[in-house]
Amino acid sequence: MTVASVSRCLALLEFLAGERDLVELSELASGLNMPVSAAHRLVTTLANLGWVIQDTASKQYALSLKMSTLAFRHLDACNVSDVVQSILNRVATETHECCRLAVLENRELVWVARAQGATTGLRYDPDMGQGIALYATASGKAWLCTLPEEQALAIVYSRGFESPHKLGPNSAHCIDEFRLQLAEARQLGFATSVEEGEAGTAAVAVPFRASSAHNALAAGTISVAGPLIRITPDRWHELADALKAAATELAQIWPAKTRARCLG
């Protein structure tokens, strides 16, 4: 299989992963910018391998559960499900908000686990499949704060700023604006996002390190997010304290988690 074929397969899987409904072959071809015949060969191959299913009545396509199964298997191998989840559950219970864990991979943050602590009123249940805009989320800023400023700004600048309609109304629109937000996060000792990643929501986040050593690199972030009316500035320090305590625990168990992963 050529590199181009692998790229097309992955693009097709990513396209289907973002669709809630069944997809027509023509829609699939259009979305992937390829001829219908090529899309048909590709999706047929993936269906034969169990990655895609085709509805017998409509002949439309959807992603199978094979990728989800592999994802959960991978999380189990990383000990995320059993070791880390208990920490997230405790923070969610203490704060009565949604607590999430993001792990650093190839200079990107990826959501891997969450716990819901809101039992009454409004609930914030974010899509765990969404990408993390580093400059517009508390988690992104929390990680970037662990880097030298020049490196952090270079990472954000190289990726550009997304269209405002995709994010919240308060998201930064240029590197100078983001520099001020990053400086504020460094001064506070934790990162916040107020209607930046998403309208109507706010979040607080801190990084956690790959070990308890003072100079250990960041391994990811832990955050609390919820409706804007509840994640107010007067709660920021309280939430940050709960997150910092959890980050200390994560730093203590992360080396063991990493060793378990390496041992397979």
Same domain, yes or no: 59 and 74: no
Q: Which of 41, 64, 87 is the last residue of a domain?
A: 64
Cα separation of the two ends of the chain: 27
Kindly provide the b/e burial profile for residues 152-174, where b requires at least 16 CB atoms within 10 angstroms of the residue's own CB: bbebbeeeebeeeeebbeebbee
Buried b or exposed e, range 124-150, using 16+ CB within 10 angstroms? bebeeeeebbbbbbbbbbbbbbbbeee
Q: What percent of the chain has pLDDT over 70?
A: 89
**pLDDT per residue over 173-228, tens digit each?**
999 999 999 999 999 999 999 999 999 999 999 999 988 777 888 999 999 999 99
pLDDT, one tens digit per residue, over 21-36 is 888 999 988 888 989 9
**Tally of structural domains, the chain:** 2
Q: What percent of the chain has pLDDT over 90?
A: 49
Name the band, by pLDDT with cuts 50, 70 and 90, for residue 154. very high
Q: What per-residue confidence (pLDDT) applies to 61?
A: 92
Residue 63 to residue 12: CA distance in whole angstroms: 9
Domain that holds residue 14: 3-64
Give residue 75's pLDDT band: very low, low, confident or very high (50, 70, 90): low
Specify whether 154 is located in the same domain as 246.
Answer: yes
123 in the same domain as 37: no
Q: Over the stretch 60-70, which tens digit does the pLDDT of each residue have?
A: 998 887 877 67
Per-residue confidence at 14, pLDDT binned at 50, 70, 90? Answer: confident
By residue count, the chain amounts to: 264
* pLDDT tens track for 209-224: 988 777 888 999 999 9
